Structure 1
Amino acid sequence: MTPQKEDYLKVIFELGGADNLITNKMIGTALSVSAASVTEMSAKLLKDEYILHIPYQGVRLSDKGLIYANKIIRKHRLWEVFLEKHLGFGWEEVHELAEMLEHVSPDILINRLEEFLGYPSVDPHGSVIPDRDGKQKKVSTKTLDELTVGNNFTIMEVVDDTEFLTYLTDKKIQLQNIFTLIEKESADGYYLFSDEVGRVYQISNQDSHKVRIHRDQ
């Protein structure tokens, strides 16, 4: 399969195409390609039975397509772990490099890489790494808007967005740290929360969807 086809399958998955119908416009926007290009590629993926198509509604991944998409994501996330843990790249730097490596890595290499890394379950951003069979364990998480003031929470996963990750790094906001929500959707448009020693942090309402959390008791 070509790298371009792999990118299409991965984007359809990331847009929710495992369960929902994804429009050509959504795919085109995500990949910054024309509507004609999306239509052409969708026809190829449909012919190869990687996607299912509902006229005038959109496409979603077939069972075959879902397995393949997860295998691409597996390669990407394992490379991200390697780049951060063993080559010293920041979590805001690993995405572009992993994008290139995922397309040139055979399964035998990825399986050896997984073994070398000690079988990690998540990547540097907290996203679950699919298994060798192309299956991904679902993890139940919440968003900040589901909390009430005073709730404790742990950040479990963040969106792989370079600018946002750089902001989190600058503010020393890390995964697995315990925080307390102290103000929800403030007048300035922020969620305010504090760590265990009282330092206060903020995330804008606009960026709040980029964080998945676990509510602590």
Structure 2
Amino acid sequence: MTPKKEDYLKIIFELGGTQKKVSNKQISLSLNVAAGSVTEMVAKLVKDGLAVHTPYAGISLTKEGIKVAEELVRRHRLWETFLVSALGYKLQDVHSDAEVLEHIASENLMEHLDEFLNHPTHCPHGGVIPNKNGDYQEDGHNVLADAKDGEVVKVDRFIDNHDLLTYLDDIELQIGDELKIIGHSPFEGPIKIMIKETGQEMSVSFKAAHYIFVK
């Protein structure tokens, strides 16, 4: 399987494609690729029996696609956890090196890495890590963009996207932050929030708010 196919499986998994339909637009924005490229790759995944595509509804993973995605996600996120916790990588810088390491590591090495890290259940950006038996608690998929004005939510996880993680580092928004939604600007404008702990107010871009998951 090509690295590109693997990237698509991982992002569909991350966006909730094990339980619901994920739109081509969501995939396009998350991977920073053109819409035409998404359409082409989705067709390949469907042909390989890894995904099902319903026109105007979106794409979801088949049982085989879920199985492959779970293993890819496990390997990738274990390496991300190691790079951040043991080597001091910044969160936005781990993806590319984790991508290399996940492809060259043996299963024996992955088992030792998992044990060394004390069997983490979530990676540094909040994503779930399936255990060696494929067991895990499914991530929630409520996004900041859909939170109502006046609602209080807690930041749960971020999409594993370099540009997004760099942006969130710049505005100092972190997993675990409790937020009060002040208001949504019209015409896909930013969302104004307040961090409950500090009282600090800030604006989060409309696009980024679709890739910040909250509970």
* Superimposed CA distance per residue, residues 105-138 of structure 1 (whole angstroms, 9 cap, x where no aligned partner): 2222112111111221111111111121234421
Partner residue, 1:65: 65
Q: Distance in 1 between matches of 2:116 and 2:209?
A: 35
Note the alpha carbon deviations across 1:32-77, whole angstroms, 9 max, x for none: 759777766764x34xxxx366798997543233212101110001
Please name the residue that 1:143 is paired with. Answer: 143
3-state SS in 2 of match to 1:87: coil
Aligned pairs (5 A) from 1:157-176:
157-176=157-176
Q: Please give the alpha-carbon distance, in whole angstroms, between the structure 1 residues aligned to 2:162 and 2:5.
A: 24
Q: 1:13 deviation in Å?
A: 3.6
Higher-Rg structure is 1
Structure 2: unaligned runs, 5 residues or longer = none
* Partner residue, 2:185: 186
- Unaligned 5+ segments in structure 1 are none
Q: Name the % identity.
A: 33
Aligned equivalents of 2:39, 2:140: Cα separation in 1? 35
Q: Structure 1 residues 180 and 113, CA, compared in 2 at 3 Å: closer, same or farther? A: same
Between the two proteins, the alignment pairs up a number of residues equal to 208
- Establish whether residue 100 from structure 1 lines up as the match of residue 80 from structure 2: no
RMSD of aligned Cα (Å): 3.4
1:68–1:119 distance in 2 versus 1, CA, 3 Å: same
Provide the C-alpha distance between the structure 1 equivalents of 2:89 and 2:26, rounded to a whole number of angstroms: 31
CA-to-aligned-CA distance 1:127-174 (integer Å, 9 cap, x gap): 111121234421335223443333322111111222221121122211
Mapped partners of 1:170, 1:34: distance in 2: 29
CA distance in 2, matches of 1:153, 1:23: 25
State the match for 1:212 in structure 2.
Answer: 213
Task: Kindly provide the CA deviation profile for residues 161-203 of structure 1, in whole angstroms up to 9, marking residues without a partner as x.
Answer: 222211211222111122222x221358221122222211110
- Normalised by the length of structure 1, the TM-score is 0.76
For 2:15 and 2:142, the matched residues in 1 are separated by 18
